[in-house]
A and B are shown apart, each in its own frame.
Chain A
Amino acid sequence: AQTVTQSQPEMSVQEAETVTLSCTYDTSENNYYLFWYKQPPSRQMILVIRQEAYKQQNATENRFSVNFQKAAKSFSLKISDSQLGDTAMYFCAFIPTNKIIFGKGTRLHILP
């Protein structure tokens, strides 16, 4: 089965700290695409970062970066210098074949 597991249902960190959200997945495919989405209280799901499995280099997007470990099927998201606006649900997702599969999400609270 192709699944995505986010083992942290909820996390809280102080503003300006660094936080890492974990994600593991299961697939027998060799080439696929991985994503992190953010859903703030406004409900809009927004793409944070994208990684192609065939690329060894970890994707970065400003304060957001990933640690992609293909052999371990791990795709964690690191948020540096966290800000109050980072408070949201974060969903890990991937496309192994022809549909996107989402994890259950991690609710992240950034505390002032």
Chain B
Amino acid sequence: NAGVTQTPKFQVLKTGQSMTLQCAQDMNHNSMYWYRQDPGMGLRLIYYSASEGTTDKGEVPNGYNVSRLNKREFSLRLESAAPSQTSVYFCASSGLVYEQYFGPGTRLTVT
């Protein structure tokens, strides 16, 4: 039982490049989330998916897109990376009891 897994762990992009962050969970959870963590700002919700087939914007969605591929997988795409998107990205999932389980994170640097 791996919980929530994320790939890659680290990534360096040049401004304007695109990439997809992958997330998968094996807990049969309905809801999945993408956050970014920046110093002094806590975690901010980018997008979430309440159930398979649905996605909604969070607090900071600009510059990102998501895909809920199936119940297990939820990917985050940066179409044209900007230095302001340098951050640590966390994926999380939750079932029926509101607590969320987090992946280990992806550290992204955009130069």
Q: Do A and B come from one complex?
A: no
A contact residues vs B (CB 8 Å cutoff):
none
B contact residues vs A (CB 8 Å cutoff):
none
